[in-house]
Amino acid sequence: MEQNDRVEPDWAAIRAEYESGEDAVRVIAERHGVSYSALNWRVKKGLWLQRNRTGTVDRPMIIKRMFVLLERQVVQLGENMTQTGEKEVAVLGKLASTLEKLIAIDDAAASRPKPAQGKKMRDLRDQLAQRIEQLKRG
């Protein structure tokens, strides 16, 4: 088989098996014909749910995942929109609001005062504001 004929693994199925925690990671990798290191790289890159969760909440990981989702949503809207989409703008606003609430919950749970907005949050808000203005102009 030529290198161009290589079949891409079904990462959605691999992810479902991985997150279920039923089989060992090496077994899952072998079953799907991927290397152990490739699977672990996907887990970290894709921010997959951790296996064998004990019920504790990893707030920093949730916040990180929200940032990734917001960034992906902004990029996707920029690529796919040809006209103002008020529905899409509303979705972005709700995602940003949810992210702010998660950060506030994390700060309260850690018993620390609410810090001034971090650079990443300010940058994200600026990016959202710029995109919303572009969408309004059409």
The 10s digit of each residue's pLDDT in 93-124 is: 777 777 777 777 767 766 655 555 566 666 77
Same domain, 38 and 67: no
d(CA 112, CA 114): 6
Query: How much is the pLDDT for 87?
Result: 74
The domain total for the chain is: 2
Query: How much is the pLDDT for 98?
Result: 75
Same domain, 44 and 69: no
Q: How many CB atoms lie within 10 A of CB 60?
A: 11
Query: Going by C-beta distance under 8 Å and a sequence separation of 6 or more, which residues neighbour residue 129?
Result: none
Residues 102 and 66: beta-carbon distance below 8 Å = yes
- 132 vs 23, residue with greater confidence: 23
pLDDT for 51-79, tens place per residue?
765 566 666 777 777 777 777 777 777 67
Q: How confident is the model at residue 3 (pLDDT cuts 50, 70, 90)?
A: low
Q: How confident is the model at residue 30 (pLDDT cuts 50, 70, 90)?
A: very high
Same domain, 63 and 98: yes
Is the pTM higher than 0.85? The answer reads no
Residue 79 falls within a domain, yes or no?
A: yes
> Domain limits at 103?
59-137
